[in-house]
Structures are given as C-alpha cells and as structure tokens.
Structure 1
C-alpha cells in the first residue's frame, strides 16, 4: 500500500511538472525577447576609441568586412571584436517594426513595453532630414545629421565611421596594440583593407535622404496608429513630426525614375541599374519607378560642394527599396494614415503599380541574374522577399474585410499573389539546405577549414530561415480580426507542402536559434569589388558636375576624377545598340556581364549586420507560428 502511494505521488509530480512547464516555443521566445532588450542602448556613450559612440534608444548595429575563405580570413569577418558600432535609423526602425508586428499578428510573451518602445521612437525621430523648409515632412535619413555652419547645411554624420577613418593614422598604433591583445593573427591585412576602404567610406558619408528609411517610417507610423490602445501616447508623438503627407508624395514623385520623360533629372539612371532593368523599361516605357535617393542631377550640381550628394552623383533603383515603398503606401492607404489617400493621385498610383510590377518581374526573372545590381544596397534576398510579402499580407487582409480601395490595389494584389505563391515557393524549394529545413544566404558560405575543404559557417542561417517562415506565413495566411488568429488561405493547392516547409523550419529554429552566429547582411555599400563600379557599364551621358561633357575614351585619369562626374543612361537605348556598347570597353575596362557571387577574391566589401534584427525576425516567425489556427 505504501509503495502504491509513493508511485501515485511520483506520477502526480510528473504530471504537475509537465502541466506547468513552459513549452519550448515559449521558452525560446522569452530568451529572444531578453536578447533583443539587452541590445538596446540605455546608456549613451561618446566616441573615445576603442569606445564607440552609442545613441540612446538605438539597437545594436555593426559594420563588418566580408572577408571569407580560410580560418584566419573568416575570423576577420566574424570576430566579436572586429566591427564598428553604427548609429543608423534602419536597424532600429526595422527591429521596432518587427516587434510591433509580432504583437499585432503573433502570440508571444510581452514583447516590448512602452518605455523601451518610446526610447526607440525618440531615437528614430532624430533621423529626419533637417534641410526641408517645411515642417513635419516625413523624409528620413540613414544616419542622423549635423549642422555645418560654413555651408549652412545639415549633413549626414556616421559618427563612429567618421571618427575612426578621420583619426585612423593617429590611432593606428593603438589599433594594432588592441588587435594583438585580442590575438588577431593577420593584422597587417586588416589594416591594409581598412585603408583601402576608407576613401569609399568617406564618399558615402555625404548621402542625402532616402526613400527606404522614409517609407519604413511610414509603415511604423501605421503600426503605432493601430496599436494606440497598447501605446496611447506614441502615435500622437509620431504625428507631430510626420504629418505632411502632401510633401512626402511630392518628393516621391519628384525623384522617381521616368525613362520616357524628356527631363534629364527624371529619365537618367545609374548605368548599373539600366544594365539589369532595360528589358522592363523596354516593355513598360511609361513606368514611374521609386528610386533610392531624394535627390536629382540638378541638385547634385548645386549642392554637392556643400556635402550632400548621391553616391556617384546619380540615382539608382534597388528592388528592396521598392518593396519598402510599396509597403509604406499600401499600409498608409488601407489604414488611412493622416491624409495620405487625399494625395494618392494618378501619378502616385502609376508609381505604385510600376514599382510593384518591377518587383514581380524581378522575382520571375531571377533579377536577370544580377542580384548584385538589382539589390545594390541590400544583398539579402530573404530580407527583400520578406519586405515584399508584407504588402501581399495587408492586401489579402483588406480583401477579406471588403475594404474599398483604388482598383490599382487589386492589380498589385494579383501581381504579388502570383509570384509569392509560385515563384517564391520554388525559390525556397530550390535553395533549402540538405536538411530540408534551413536556408543560407552568403555570409560564410565560402569558408574553408585548415585543409582547404569547404566548411560553411552558417552565420546568416538563422536570419534566412526565420525570414523564410515569415514570408510563407505572410503569403499563405490572413489575420482574422474576429478571432485574433492567423488562418490559412484554404484555396491554395500546395498548402500541405507549405505547412510542411514551415513546420520543418520552425523545428529547426527551436533547436538551433542560439547555436549559430546571429548575423545578417541588412545593408551594404553599392560597390562590392571592382566589377561593381558604375563606370564600366554602357552609358550615354558623360558630364562633369558643371555640365561640361567629356569623351570617356579620352578621359585624363591622372588629372580628373570620375567621382566628380555624371556617367549615366538617359532614356531608352535600343537593344541592338546596347549590345554593341556592352562589347566595347568603357574607360578602358570591359563591361562586367556576369555575377560570380558575393564571396569572390578581391570583392570583399563592408556590410551592416544587426544581431537583434536576427533575433526579432526569429521571434516574429515563432510568434506567428504560435498563432496559426490549425
């Protein structure tokens, strides 16, 4: 009898333990939330090398160099001490947006409180373009600006990069001593690479506002509006400096690419962009496409000397920027952000449709085999696909709620639903790793061991796998406002396949979310090696900033700088002529016609990575999976 009592007590204890135990998905989410929280700056710091400047409220973001190959090379890329802390809007904007999205559509422990979110929003507010002569214009910059009294201009200021490069020679001995102390082996090569990169870094310091950060901010504003019950004061605060939607739309159209226009400011584009986009331009001559930079050629000529200029003095098109513009517009119209819809005129509708069409065309045509040019600033294909899928998710939800929207939204829905429910799924099926569960982008994929054998390190594996889950959920579910759950789109034939793909990746994330480096490549410079300089691609405009034309075949490289020139494509060049131009040399260099991957000798480049961004998209994947209605 006593033995039976003991057995019963033992079984009861086991039952109580498993009844009260936190499921693995809850445990993982709680740990992710803690890691994200720990990577927010709560105590600002000033630059005093080796201490980085850190601005209150921002999340951790790092600049690294994409070394690859044998272990000593790879160590320079991934070493936990070799990076520059970067105070930019993009990382914090996306982390905040992802945390809010997990709150809206997922089921998770409390993700972020008002105080922490308020710090992030306050930090983001400092990234407004201060050169606007109207109030409350939601035009944003990647880096915050400082005032130059000499030129009477606000200039972008990537503080730590600027300090490091400006003081590099003075700090060289200290840098070498610190690297030796850390046990870094190939110091000389790292120093040499930093020296080589420093000139390029100085050029990008002067960047104008961009439409990627701008429309990220618009999407964030919509989220704050929808979550006023949880964070009642933050939307009103956001409105104080972001209410001028008329000006935003005016600027979006002013700097858009219009290949059929007769205006040089509108019809001229970076030769790298034209190289991969020319078939789309041929088939869509009346297209109006969202660009990266809020600047045109006339303005470059006028204010470049004041320290505000686009890289290479020309605008370009990055499909990732386009995806963010589309999402910002979609959310602003669906959820009636301020008076955005009042200014959503025919030209803006054309831009919306054209940019969405380009995204769909790019996916279907595999970026014309030039992802390095199509995603010139944002190499992560998984990140790009997620940004685009978010618009499809909102459009599906609007259809389920019978919202009255302009007809152009139905056309964009058809474009996105077609590619995301077919081509994107096939992309994942073709690129899943041998475990049928996880995905790699490119960080560490070409590393080798000491014997020279290929040994990928999976540094962006967590990020890419989590984003795959987020893309599939955004593409094949909708949010039921009555139940607060995510429901499957039941008329999709391949739904069983999609569920298996998601289940496999979620299982992998639960087992491996903390076993690999949580890196990503959310941003990069536009040049990733010699072959990505724009000057080697066919062009039909060759001018100095003062408007004087020059002959590229007789350019005096010793006494003249291409950095003060405008080398671009104006209008449309018929394909026969263009093919002939490809076969010719430009500045005595052959046109780079192929892309051999991001990890090629001599092609090392600076990239931006954010560990809390990886943790946040992983949290989003788990939270949304946890809220799926079976």
Structure 2
C-alpha cells in the first residue's frame, strides 16, 4: 500500500510538472522577445569609425552588400563585422507595429512595455519631413533630416553612410586592416567593389520624403489608438505631430501617377516602372497610382541643387509601397483615425481601388516577370505578400464585425480575397522547399562550396518561412471578438492551408535559432548594370535646367547623367513601344530578361534587420498560438 501511495504521489508530481512547464512555443516566444528587446538602442552612440552612430530608441538595422559565390565571397555578405549600422525609420516602425500586433491578434507574453515602446515612438517622431509649411503633417522620411543653413533646407541624413563615404579613402585604410584581421581573401577585389558601391550610395543621400514610411506611420498610429488603455499617453503624443490628415491626403494625390493626365508632373514616370506597368495602365486608363516619392518634376528642377531629389530625378511605382499605403488607408478608415474619412474624396477612392487592383494584378501576372522593377526598392517577395495580406485581414475582420464601409473597400476586398486565396497559395505551393515546410527568398541561394557545388545557406529562410505563415493566417482567418481567438474562414481549401501552417510552424520551432536571421527588407534601386533606367525606352530626355538632349548623340562615358531626366510621359502605343524596345538607348540594348538577384557584377546594397526577422517570427508563433483549432 505504501508503495502504491508513493507511485501515485510521483505520478501526480509528474502531471503537475508538465502542466506547469512552459510549452516549446512559449519558450521560443520568450527567447524571441528577449532577443528583440536586446536589439533596441537604449543609449545613443556617436560615430567614430569603426564605431557606428546609433540613435536612441531605434532597433538594429544593417546595410550589407549582396556578394555571393564561393565561401570567402559569401562571407563578405554575412560576416558579422562587415556592415554599416543604419539609423532609419522603416525597420523600427515595422518592428514596433509587429510587436503590438502579436498581442492584438496573437497569444503571447507582453511583447513590449510602455517604456520601450515610448522611446521607439519618440525615435520615429524625428523622421518627420521638416520642410512642410503646415504643422502636424504626417509626411515621413526614411532617414532623419539635418538643417542646411546655406540652402535653408532640411536634408535627409544617413549619418553612418555619410560619415563613411565623405572620408572614404581614409576609412578604407581601416577597412583593409579589419579585413586582414578577419582573414578575408581577395581584399583588393573587395576594395574595388566597395569603391563602385560607394558611388551608388552617394546618389541616395538626398532623397525626399516617401509614402512608404508615411503610411507605415499611419498604420502604427491606428494601432496606438486601439491600444490606448494598454499604453496610455503614447497615442496622445503621436497625435500632436500627426493630426493633419487633410494635408496628407492632398500630398498623396498631388504626387500620384496619372498616366493619361495632360500634366507632365502627374504623367511622367521612371522608364523602368513604365516597362512592367504598361499593360495595367492600358487596361485602367483612369487609374491614380500611388508613387514612392513626395516630389514631382517641377519641384526636383527647383530644389535638386538644395539637396532634395528623387533618385534619377524621377518618381516610380513600387508594389510594396502600394501595399503599405493600402494598409495605412484601410486601417485609418475602418478605425476612424482622426478625420481621415472626411477627406476620402472621389480621387482618393480611385487611388485606393487602383492600388488594390495593382497589387492583385501584379501577383496574378508574376510582376510581368520583372520583380526587380516592380519591387524596385523591396526585393523580398514574402515581405511584399505579407504587407498586402494585412489589408485583407482588416477587411475580413470588418465584415465579421458588420462595419459600414465605403463601397470601394468592399471592391478591394473582392480582388484581394481572390488573389490571396488562390494565386498566393499556389505560389507558396510551388516555391516550398523539398522539406514541404520552409521557404527561401534569394539571400545565399547561389552560394557554392570550394568545389563550385551549390550550397545554399538559407539566410532569409527564417524570415521567408515566418512571413509565409503570417500571409496564410492573414488571408484565411479573422479575430472573433467574443472569444478573442483567431478563427478560420469557411473555405474549400482550409484543411490544406492548416497543413501548410502546421508544417511551417513546426519547422520554425525547431530551426528558428539555427540559421542567420537575415532579410532584405529594403535595397538600392539599381541591382547591377541592367537595372539602370537609361537603358529602357523613354520619350523625355532633358536636364534639370530644362534643356533637352539626344540620347543617340550622348557620350555616357564622358558626360554625366546625374542632372538628367530620362522618363516616360503619358501612354505610348504598344506597337510603337515594342519598336522602342528593339532599339538601343545610349547605345545599350533594353534589358528584357531578369536573371535573378545573384548575378556576376550585380552586387547591390541591401538593408537587413535581425530583430525584424525575430519579430515576424514571433508574430507567426503568437497568431498560431491563438488559433481556434
């Protein structure tokens, strides 16, 4: 009898232990939250090469170069010492939004406390465009600005890049010492590539505000509004500098692309954009399409010399920017952000429908086989798909809550639900790795071993797999207000989707800390020679001073195109355009084929953020943990 009591006692103790023990998913989420928190800057650091400047409240973000190939070449891409720390708004804005979302829609420990969120929002507030004449305009910049007293202008200031490049030759000596200490081979070849890349970096210092960061900030503002009870005072602080919604909408429409307008400020676009977008334009002649930059031709001609200019002096259309703008507008309308709804004019409705339709068209048509041009700044396809799916999730949720919405939102719901619940699912099924659980984008997939045999390193595998889970959950679930759980929608393929999600979650739980947590959330617009805009058909060739030039009599080797405008104005008949494609431009044939991001001579700068990878992984696990299974 005594033995029986002892066995029973032991059994009860074991049951209690396992009942109280943290589950594997909880343990992983706890570790992810800790790793993310450790990557926030809690004490500012001043630049003194090789020590990078770090701004208080921002999360880690790095600029790297997409070298690939043999082990020593690949190491230049992923080495933990070879990068530039970058103080930008985009990474911190998204990490903050994702941390909040993990608690809003998922089941996880508290992801961020009031103090850490407060300093992140304070840091983001410094990225407002200070050149606005009106107050509280939520127009944002990728980099914070510094005041140039000579030109009386606020200019974008990528501090560490500026410090590094402006004294490049001196800094190269230090870089060479570091590379030798690391045992890096072919240092001379690397230095030559760094010199080439530094010239590209100089051209991006002077960028104007952009609509990507701007509408990221709007989406974040909506989250702060919804979480006022949990984070008192932070939303009120956000309102103080972001309340002028009328001006925001005016600016969004002012710089939008209207290809059939008679106004050259509205109908002129980067020739790379026109190349992949022209079929959509032809079929949607009334389209109003959101652009990347808050600047037009008239303005760039006036203020380029003051240090504010679009890259290549022209605006462009990036579908990832479109996806972020769509989410910002969707959330602002559904959750009544200030008076945003009051200024949702007929033109804004057209812009909203055009943007949603463009996203769906781009996915259905595989970006016309030119993702390098369609996602000119944001190469990660998995990231783009997630940004777009977030609007579908909000629209699905609004339908279940019986919210009264403008009809145009229901029309966009229809096009998004179709493409995400069909084409995107097929994309994942076609691109899943052999394990049927994980996904790669492009970082490291063309690396080889010493014997030139392909040996992918999976550096964006964690990021891409987590984003796949997030896309599927956003596309096929809604938050049930009564239970606080995520519920699957009624769909014929739900069992298939559940299997896909289960497999990827299992893979993440087992592998999340086994691979490099890299991503490519941003990049330079030029990824090798073939992506320069000058090689694509155009019908405007002029300098900023208004003088025109003939590209057939222009010696590009001896004359500069820095102050040139090479663009497409209006719509070009397709027969005429096909003839233009067959011709040479500046004595270079039009690049018609995309061979991938990892091609010889095509190395390009990209932005990666480890805490961003960890945050979207946390979101995937938290939402999975909250599914009504």
Secondary structure of the residue that 2:562 maps to in structure 1? helix
Aligned-partner SS, 2:195: helix
2:445 is the alignment partner of 1:471 = no
Partner of 1:231: 231
Aligned equivalent of 1:608: 607
* SS of the residue 2:301 aligns to: helix
Q: C-alpha offsets along residues 529-566 of structure 1, whole Å, 9 cap, x if unaligned?
A: 00000000000011111111111100133553112110
Contact 2:269 2:314 in 1 (8 A): yes
Query: Which residue of the partner structure matches residue 172 of structure 1?
Result: 172
Equivalent in the alignment of 2:36: 36
Match of 1:241 in 2: 241
- Superposed CA offset, 1:447-493 (max 9, x none): 11111111110000000000000000000000111211111102x10
Q: 2:450 & 2:545 partners in 1: Cα distance?
A: 54
Aligned to 1:570: 569
Q: CA deviation at 1:12?
A: 3.2
Q: Which residue of 2 aligns with 1:290?
A: 290
Question: Who is 2:408 aligned against?
Answer: 408
Alignment of 1:156-555 (within 5 A): 156-490=156-490, 492-555=491-554
Tell me, in whole angstroms, the C-alpha distance in 1 between the residues paired with 2:556 and 2:430: 45
Displacement of 1:183: 2.5
Aligned pairs, how many?
A: 629
Q: Distance in 2 between matches of 1:489 and 1:558?
A: 59
- CA offsets, 1:212-231, max 9 Å, x none? 00000000000000000100
Where do residues 45-84 of structure 1 align in structure 2 (5 Å cutoff)?
45-84=45-84
CA distance in 1, matches of 2:186, 2:15: 56
Using the TM superposition, give the Cα deviation of residue 406 of structure 1 relative to its aligned residue in structure 2, in angstroms: 0.9
Partner of 1:121: 121
CA deviations 1:93-112 (Å, max 9, x no partner) are 00000011111100001110
CA distance in 2, matches of 1:31, 1:181: 32
* Alpha-carbon offset, residue 173 of structure 1: 2.0
**How far apart are residue 69 of structure 1 and its match?**
0.8
Q: How far apart are residue 14 of structure 1 and its match?
A: 2.2
CA distance in 2, matches of 1:404, 1:16: 49
Secondary structure in 2 aligned to 1:309?
coil
Provide the C-alpha distance between the structure 2 equivalents of 1:545 and 1:560, rounded to a whole number of angstroms. Answer: 15
CA distance in structure 1 between the partners assigned to 2:287 and 2:55 by the alignment:
40
> Does the Cα contact within 8 Å between 2:556 and 2:586 map onto a contact in 1?
no
Residue 562 of structure 1 aligns to a residue whose secondary structure is: coil
Q: In the aligned structure 2, how far is the partner of 1:3 from the partner of 1:479?
A: 51
Report the Cα distance in structure 1 between the residues aligned to 2:71 and 2:418, rounded to whole angstroms. 43
Any idea what the Cα deviations from partners look like across 1:281-327, whole Å, max 9, x if unmatched?
11111110000000000000000000000000000000000000000
SS of corresponding position for 1:563: coil
State the shift of 1:3 in Å.
4.4
SS in structure 1 of the partner of residue 107 of structure 2: coil
Q: Which residue of the partner structure matches residue 130 of structure 1? A: 130
Deviates more, 1:85-94 or 1:158-167: 158-167
Distance 1:246 1:22 in 2: 49
Counterpart of 2:22 in structure 1 is 22
Q: Comparing 444-453 with 131-140, which one deviates more in the overlay?
A: 444-453
Quick check: 266-275 or 159-168, which moved more? 159-168
Q: 1:377 deviation in Å?
A: 0.1
Give the Å deviation of 1:190.
2.2
Task: Report what 2:96 is aligned to.
Answer: 96
User: 1:14, 1:501 → 2: CA distance?
Assistant: 33
Q: Equivalents in 2 of 1:188, 1:53: separation in Å?
A: 27
1:246 counterpart SS class: helix
Paired with 1:619 and 1:610, the residues of 2 have a C-alpha distance of 14
- Looking at structure 1, the residues matched to 557 and 626 of structure 2 have their Cα atoms a distance apart, in angstroms, of 63
What is the aligned-residue RMSD (CA, Å)?
Answer: 0.9
Contact 2:289 2:351 in 1 (8 A): yes
2: CA distance, partners of 1:558 / 1:27: 58
CA distance in 2, matches of 1:322, 1:518: 26
Residues in 2 aligned to 1:558 and 1:74: alpha-carbon distance in whole angstroms: 31
Deviations 1:189-248 (A, max 9, x none): 222211111111011000000000000000000000000010011100000000000000
Separation in 2 of the partners of 1:334 and 1:157? 35
Q: 1:629 to 1:558 in 2, by over 3 A?
A: closer
Whole-angstrom CA distance in 2 between matches of 1:272 and 1:51: 38
Aligned equivalents of 1:556 and 1:15: distance in 2? 80
Q: Mind listing any 5+ residue stretches in structure 1 that lack a counterpart?
A: none
Over 3 Å counting, the alpha-carbon distance change for 1:565 and 1:103 in structure 2 is same
In 1, Cα distance between equivalents of 2:351 and 2:417: 19
Q: Is the contact between residue 53 and residue 159 of structure 2 (CA under 8 Å) also seen in structure 1?
A: yes
| Partner Cα separation in structure 1 for residue 10 and residue 627 of structure 2 | 35
1:494-538, CA deviations, whole angstroms, 9 ceiling, x for partnerless residues?
000000000000000000010000000000000000000000000
> Which runs of no fewer than 5 residues in structure 2 stay unpaired?
none
CA contact (8 A) 2:157 2:205 kept: yes
Q: Residues 36 and 614 of structure 2 are in contact (CA less than 8 Å); yes or no, is this contact kept in structure 1?
A: yes
Asked if 1 retains the 8 angstrom alpha-carbon contact of 2:146 and 2:154, the reply is yes
Partner of residue 557, structure 1:
556
**TM-score by structure 2 length?**
0.99
Q: 1:586: which partner in 2?
A: 585
Q: What corresponds to 2:627 in structure 1?
A: 628
